């Protein structure tokens, strides 16, 4: 691996990536992964990884099992070779995994991703897979189902074996031979059934001697009665082996026929395993996809070094390449300067490898042609190089290689030699690298470099924050602020004599002290401003939360008001329909009265009563208000009382006592409102109300009946139509409606016939007729009610 990449610990990341793979070829891909230098290619690789992350989150990670590269075996089979049972089982297992991944993809095949090409390259072959698995049980066993010939041979072997064992069982249980046997058992030697006989009795058991025990006390004899059976078994075993060999050749030939498709599918499977390993690594690191550019712009938000424990690492924000091309990072030792450099370099390399990086969304990284690094102590005794010499040797090579497409990361620039000369050399090196238009991030302890960054355009200071009170670094990177050397404060806190510390301060030049004082003042102001900003952000967040709550309450109130208005509209429509029906009925009565030219007192009283009823139904709110004037609360209202808002007929709860102007705060459902006390009724005291109020309020029991003078039954079955007409007649009778129009359509005449047959027997029907021109003719029936 490139030495610079290894310094940034890219090899450790690739090892973590390899651990996420399950296929050997995918593991090799992970370990040999290298950064890409073309922006479009890097974007494509990142998009593939991001798509894999999304798919894993929605559908779970596909299982790649233990797929093996069977290319060599398949090519041998293609050339006519015979594969072993183990090789054929590996091919079947690989085909099974290819099929399962293909089926997993079928769940979302309509979703377009950058991985579709690899998924479409998976060709399942269930025929060959099942043929192999049905024929081969394990590496040492072929199934009887492999062929009918093999099944027949094995059946014959079992029959012959059974006959041989029967003969042998008779021998070992015979009193004639039992005394000559070493053990009353049947065993095998060279595939033939034998019995163990004592050496001195070998002549008493006629048969063939096949073996002798190690001690010589036992000989294994094949009795003459089973010689033929053993011969048959031996012959059948030979046929069995021939048949197994034929089956393996046949399966090998089948596998060879599909060699190209299986090898291509396996390659796609390995690539998918590699990509999903990237996705798993991203999930473990809580990584996200950065925005990529090739202009050298870096804007990392909440970036975390992936090797450090994710529960301990402190996120940092790193900016480079926008308003400045050089970042000079200062601060005390162990403050996080080197980790910042490594984080910047490693995350850049990871993104260029197509790996998501552990940082916040909308972070930005650049593709660099070269990432050049000088970090760590490279002192070499063998090469007679000191630390300074080793660093300078490395930096000389960096200067030679650096160009406008380079990212240069240098730790402790100019350290290891005289401070004055080292600082001057460090400034000179930075100027040379800037002349080559490289993007640079460097750490240092030199105050001269802080001043260089302050006075040079395109160079910016940064520092790693350090808490002097606790003597602990916070590991936060602060861009635009030079770091203060806290050597005196740290030494004093650790117990150094004040006299020594004060003397050291005197030895520091006045310019250095002034510079450090300025830096200290800036740091205090920065911390103060940061607290103010944090407080302001907290208050803003709280205000936004309250605003959101208020908006939600307003939205709910509007929705409830709209529902109430809609309910009121529906009620108004019912009132209009009822009033219209009653008006029609009154008009008919008036017509009859005019025709009769004489109206009795009883008829006039009935007509007046109907007019009063219609007025009551037409304006219920006014009626209620008029009735409400007669009501008085039985006692003063208290908080928690259940009341009725009289004019809108809504139950509510009292939230506050009445005000001086007679307004009461109540809650009806989710709405809080103020209502006049005169409009409230105490629900608990309802029984004490005057009896005439209750009677007036429930004048008619027909308020819930929806009156109509017309009923449409077109499209209904005869039975349903009759039920609808029956209900309409009942409603019309309750509402004193004398005429009803039934629309049944012309059609086949079935509805008309059944409805008219029903009307002939109905007690409330006075007469009925078909409609005339203008009424609907034979498509309607006009019913006159009693």
Task: State the binding site for ATP.
Answer: 331-338
Polymer length in residues for the chain: 786
- Of the CA atoms within 13 Å of residue 767, those in its CB half-sphere come to 3
State the first-to-last Cα distance of the chain, in angstroms, to the nearest integer: 105
Strands 780-785 and 439-443: unpaired
As a whole number of angstroms, the distance between CA 669 and CA 686 comes to: 21
How far is the C-alpha of 150 from the C-alpha of 243, rounded, in Å?
6
Assigned token pair, 179: 């005394």
Q: Which two tokens stand for residue 307?
A: 């090797």
Radius of gyration of the chain (CA): 49
Contacts of range 694-700, beta carbons closer than 8 Å, 24 or more positions apart: 696/627, 697/624, 697/627, 699/613, 699/616, 700/613, 700/616, 700/617
Query: Tokens representing 285?
Result: 């690191």
Helix axes 227-257, 126-135, angle to 10 degrees: 160
Enumerate residues 6+ apart whose C-beta is below 8 A from 372.
4, 398, 401, 402, 406, 407, 408, 409, 438
Q: Is the dihedral of CA 630, 632, 634, 639 positive or negative?
A: positive
Token duo for residue 643: 């009341």
Residue list for the binding site: 331-338
How does strand 739-743 pair with strand 780-785? antiparallel
CB distance 280 to 353 below 8 Å:
no
Distance CA 640, CA 220 (A): 105
Side-chain half-sphere CA neighbours of 760 within 13 A: 6
- The token pair that represents 385 in the structure block: 């190089």
- Dist. CA 4–CA 350, nearest whole Å: 13
Burial class (CB in 10 A: 0-12, 13-18, 19+), 693: middle
List Cα–Cα distances, 45 to 266, 276, 599, in angstroms: 20, 12, 98
258: tokens are 């599909």
- CA 299, CA 317: separation in Å to the nearest integer? 7
Q: What is the secondary structure of 58-112 as a DSSP string?
A: HH-PPP-TT----HHHHHHHHTT----HHHHHHHHHHHHHHHHHHHHHHTTTTS-
Give burial (CB, 10 Å; 0-12/13-18/19+) of 269.
buried
DSSP states along 652-697: EEE-S---TTSEEEEEETTEEEEEEGGGEEEGGGGGGS-HHHHHHH
Paired residues of 785 in beta bridges: 765
Q: Report the candidate in 708, 779, 705 with the shortest Cα–Cα distance to residue 739.
A: 708
Angstrom distance (rounded) from CA 654 to CA 668: 9
Give 342's contacts (C-beta < 8 A, 6+ positions apart): 8, 9, 305, 375, 409
Report the number of secondary-structure helices (H) and strands (E) in the chain.
24, 25
Residue with tokens 């990432």, as numbered in its chain: 371
């Amino acid at each position: 691996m490139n030495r610079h990449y290894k310094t940034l610990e890219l090899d450790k990341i690739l090892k973590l990536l390899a651990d996420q793979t399950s296929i050997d070829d995918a593991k090799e891909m992970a370990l040999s992964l290298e950064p890409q230098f073309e922006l479009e290619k890097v974007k494509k690789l990142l998009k593939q990884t991001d798509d894999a992350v999304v798919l894993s989150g929605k559908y779970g990670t596909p299982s790649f099992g233990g797929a093996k590269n069977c290319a060599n075996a398949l090519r041998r089979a293609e050339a006519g070779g015979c594969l072993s049972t183990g090789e054929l089982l590996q091919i079947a297992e690989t085909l099974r995994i290819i099929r399962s991944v293909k089926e997993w993809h079928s769940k979302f095949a309509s979703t377009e991703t950058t991985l579709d090409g690899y998924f479409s390259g998976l060709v399942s072959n269930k025929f060959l897979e099942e043929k192999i698995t049905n024929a081969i049980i394990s590496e040492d066993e072929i199934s009887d189902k492999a062929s009918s010939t093999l099944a027949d041979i094995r059946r014959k072997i079992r029959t012959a074996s059974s006959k041989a064992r029967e003969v042998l069982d008779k021998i070992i249980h015979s009193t004639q031979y039992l005394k000559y046997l070493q053990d009353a058992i049947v065993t095998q030697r060279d595939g033939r059934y034998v019995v163990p006989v004592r050496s001195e009795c070998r002549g008493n058991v006629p048969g063939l001697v096949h073996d002798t025990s190690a001690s010589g006390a036992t000989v294994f004899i094949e009795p003459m009665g089973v010689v033929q059976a053993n011969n048959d078994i031996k012959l059948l075993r030979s046929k069995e082996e021939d048949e197994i060999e034929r089956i393996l050749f046949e399966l090998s030939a089948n596998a060879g026929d599909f060699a190209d498709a299986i090898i291509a599918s396996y390659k796609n499977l390995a690539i998918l395993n590699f990509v999903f390993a990237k996705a798993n690594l991203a999930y473990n690191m809580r990584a996200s996809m950065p925005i990529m550019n090739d202009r050298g712009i870096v804007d990392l938000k909440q970036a975390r070094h992936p090797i450090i424990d994710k529960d301990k690492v402190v996120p940092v924000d790193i900016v480079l390449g926008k308003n400045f091309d050089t970042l000079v990072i200062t601060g005390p030792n162990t403050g996080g300067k080197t980790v910042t450099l490594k984080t910047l370099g490693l995350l850049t390399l990871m993104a260029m490898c197509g790996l998501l990086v552990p940082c916040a969304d909308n972070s930005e990284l650049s593709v660099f042609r070269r990432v050049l690094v000088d970090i760590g102590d490279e002192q070499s005794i063998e090469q007679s190089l000191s630390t300074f010499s080793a660093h300078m040797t490395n930096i000389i090579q960096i200067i030679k290689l650096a160009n406008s497409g380079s990212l240069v990361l240098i730790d402790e620039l100019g350290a290891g030699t005289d401070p004055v000369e080292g600082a001057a050399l460090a400034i000179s090196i930075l100027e040379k690298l800037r002349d080559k238009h490289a993007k640079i991030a460097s750490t240092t302890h030199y105050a001269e470099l802080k001043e260089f960054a302050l006075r040079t355009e395109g160079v910016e200071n940064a520092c790693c924050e350090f808490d002097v009170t606790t003597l602990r670094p916070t590991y936060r990177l602060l861009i635009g602020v030079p770091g203060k050397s806290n050597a005196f404060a740290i030494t004093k806190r650790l117990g150094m004599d004040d006299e020594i510390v004060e003397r050291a301060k005197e030895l520091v030049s006045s310019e250095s002290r002034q510079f450090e004082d300025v830096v200290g003042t800036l740091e205090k102001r920065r911390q103060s401003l940061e607290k103010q900003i944090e407080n302001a952000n907290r208050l803003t967040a709280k205000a936004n939360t309250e605003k959101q709550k208020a908006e939600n309450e307003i939205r709910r109130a509007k929705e409830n008001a709209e529902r109430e208005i809609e309910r009121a509209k529906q009620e108004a429509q019912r009132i209009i329909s009822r009033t219209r029906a009653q008006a029609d009925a009154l008009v008919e009565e008036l017509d009859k009265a005019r025709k009769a030219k004489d109206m009795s007192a009883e008829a006039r009283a009935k007509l007046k009563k109907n007019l009063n009823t219609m007025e009551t139904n037409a304006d219920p709110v006014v009626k209620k208000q008029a009735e409400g004037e007669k009501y008085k609360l039985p006692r003063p209202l208290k908080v928690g009382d259940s009341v009725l808002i009289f004019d809108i007929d809504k139950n509510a709860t009292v939230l506050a006592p009445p005000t001086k102007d007679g307004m009461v705060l109540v809650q009806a459902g989710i709405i809080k409102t103020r209502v006049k006390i005169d409009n409230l009724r105490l629900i608990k005291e309802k029984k004490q109300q005057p009896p005439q109020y209750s009677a007036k309020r429930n004048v008619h029991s027909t308020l819930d009946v929806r009156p109509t003078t017309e009923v449409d039954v077109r499209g209904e079955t005869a039975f349903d139509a009759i039920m609808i007409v029956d209900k309409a007649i009942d409603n019309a009778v309750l509402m004193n409606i004398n005429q009803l129009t039934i629309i049944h359509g012309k059609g086949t005449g079935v509805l008309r016939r059944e409805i008219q047959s029903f009307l002939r027997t109905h007690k409330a029907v006075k007469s009925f007729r078909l409609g005339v021109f203008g009424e609907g003719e034979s498509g309607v029936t006009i019913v006159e009610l009693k």
